[in-house]
Structure 1
């Protein structure tokens, strides 16, 4: 199986179809419930009889509600089908990925021929995002508040890059401010405390307030005097 386009959609983070519990569209609600309970999944994909086309998801909770209201359990599983349009393609953008799956336990992944490849779960997406932003290779992450000017991001990165390479940079909107942002800059693991302090000093001197410093470096240990008898 190959995944093209966005590098995030790699074979290692998409759970392939062969490893999933699925139901086919010809099953009844009663049969689908048996599969859901046996697998202990809250929901599973519904595929066509050839296991190629994604029809949607079936949720155990919805079947329980149907059963509690004395609904007919011999109805086809598609009667309670959900999320029929909730899928991404293997070359989807990061933007599309994040906004497509934010309310779902997982998102279905299709190829260019609209064939079902597998699913991408929240957990695996977050792990991939964590790897992408390089936190494991960083020393410090600085949270810097902008002053609400369009040139702030350029100025901040210029100040930092004069002292150290920038591992990654992320901007977040500050609520309720409509203009100010927070800029998160991660520094490579080669940056020591002295260099970090130099960067903070230069930022503060230019009126960019560093509101938080997160470190992945081990905390310095205090020297402990060990008494010995001779």
Structure 2
């Protein structure tokens, strides 16, 4: 499987957006990352994998978190088995990297799930966080639950269930992009429901909107928590 690096930055760019990440490079030193060969160099990578159905916002979530339009926000990745990443060097020597990795859409069918996840097995085993993207306006979790049961159960402690499109929660409003009190109440009920359905702690379920940049701090904070357990 080919991993395509779309952008590379220094970690300072990310910690400027999320100051609570300041000590992440030092905290990750306690762990061994995934050995990766890049440009005739061997580096140690700490990967965050973004998984979910095509069109649910994996690419736009990475763009929102990093502050760069590095990922194409179409369904083109559903036609390839390649992974695309945004990289942050964690030291001046550029031997350690934090990687935001966008995987092709899954949970579409058992056949494609088995095919993709067989390719990603090594990445899943070595990753430091899995961000599993759902949508606030979805109700059918049949394939997602099967995927959790059959493939992702060993990694539950490192999973964040990220409920995108919080701005689409009922009752929607055309007058403002800010969430109303009623929307927040409904989203909190959605968090509780998803937590129970997937048998995940509620703290590992976060609602947000990549498009409207809503609750990104909470999402990034939970990713930080999963990476440093």
- Whichever structure has more helix as a proportion of its residues is 2
State the TM-score, normalizing by the size of structure 2: 0.24
Task: Give the number of the structure with larger relative contact order, counting CA–CA contacts within 8 Å between residues 6 or more apart.
Answer: 2
Structure 1 or 2, whichever has the larger Rg, is 1
